[in-house]
A = this chain, B = another copy of it.
Amino acid sequence: MLVVMDNHASADQIERVVQVIEEMGYQARPMPGLQRTTVGLVGNDGRVDGSRIEALPGVAEVIHVSKPYKQVSREWKQENTLVRIAPGVVFGGEQIQIIAGPCSVESEDQIVTAARQVRAAGATALRGGAFKPRSSPYSFQGLGKRGLELLAVARQETGLAIVTEALDEDGVHRVAEVADCIQIGARNMQNYSLLRAAGRAGKPVLLKRGMAATITDLLMSAEYILAEGNDQVILCERGIRSFDTMTRNLFDLTAIPLVQKLSHLPMVADPSHGTGLRDKVTPMARAAVAAGADGIIVEVHPNPERALSDGAQSLYPEQFKSLVEELRAIASAIGRSVATLASARSAGTAPVTVG
């Protein structure tokens, strides 16, 4: 941490800053300059609340040098963390995983059909919401417990791993019983009670970036999960708020190499929410893989015109099939490959079953 003094700061004011830093248990290193003095704070300043020092007379600015997160950082762990949500379905290695399926679980027929279609096209995991966060209390809120049961049926039919969202602590327990990976949605990225509960649930977590979250904010939220002893965390870019309402969100693909440099955790991208427009999903999914994403999560519905939610951004099954073929070509162009369930199965064991 560096404390930048005002141009006209007095010697007493500088001395006061030094004293306060020492009272806080750190060493202070004043560095006089031609225009102004800065005072360095030496020691692990991860927990220092700079606001106390910012409030002192003569202080112009406090600059944090060390990063505010720890366990998620590549400085903490240099090699990639591999997150294994089911046998052979591993994020963070050379292979790119594709998670696909409808926005919401609507019926057994719908989810099983969707699962078969996306598996045939090349997905390794199935998405589908049982608990849905909707901006209106009067919108369809998901099938709840019944939705989870239908996801389990779809897994038994196809062998796909299951990724589904939890909205609260009670939901975490229910989802953890059935799913292979607990999704925390963008609206809950800074719901710290939920993050802690997910961290303790004993399953991998897919954490989506909030609409106003900086990269640092995202990593700080992941830190809550790791702080509970769970390092099986997949981060996900899904679009942030911007001033142009032509797309639902602004899909920030630079977040992928940014996160991968700062953290050892895998990073995937969601072009469906990232754009909100069906015909933009394919080019932006290609772009995400080209940018280095460790996976893609994409909405596919057997019949988007009849979807209860997000119909306008869901791919038709045949569009998804073409997309996977394009992604294979892109992955190959950058020296990676798209995972297949066959390769997953050949790697091993039977599908995980519901307890």
Contacts and interface: CB of A to CB of B under 8 A. Distances in A.
B47 A42 contact: no
A215 B275 CA distance: 14
B244 A256 contact: no
Nearest to A32: B42
Interface string A242-257: 1111110011111011
B65 A311 contact: no
B51 A334 contact: no
B192 A134 contact: yes
A220 interface: yes
A283 B292 contact: yes
Nearest to A258: B246
A122 B126 CA distance: 42
A47 to B, nearest CB: 5
A287 B291 contact: yes
Contacts of A279: 257, 261
A227 B137 contact: yes
A287 B289 CA distance: 8
A333 interface: yes
Task: Give the number of copies in the complex.
Answer: 4
Interface string A274-310: 1100111001101111111000000000001111111
Contacts of A20: 305
Contacts of A310: 51
B36 A65 contact: yes
A279 B256 CA distance: 12
Contacts of A7: 75
A56 interface: yes
A199 to B, nearest CB: 9
A353 interface: no
Interface of A: 2, 4, 7, 20, 29, 31, 33-36, 38, 40, 42-44, 46-47, 49-52, 54-56, 61, 63, 65-66, 68-70, 75, 133-140, 167-169, 171, 187-188, 190-194, 196, 210-212, 214-217, 220-221, 223-224, 227, 240-247, 250-254, 256-258, 261, 274-275, 278-280, 283-284, 286-292, 304-314, 326, 329-330, 332-334
5 contacts: A7-B75, A35-B65, A212-B241, A253-B253, A330-B330
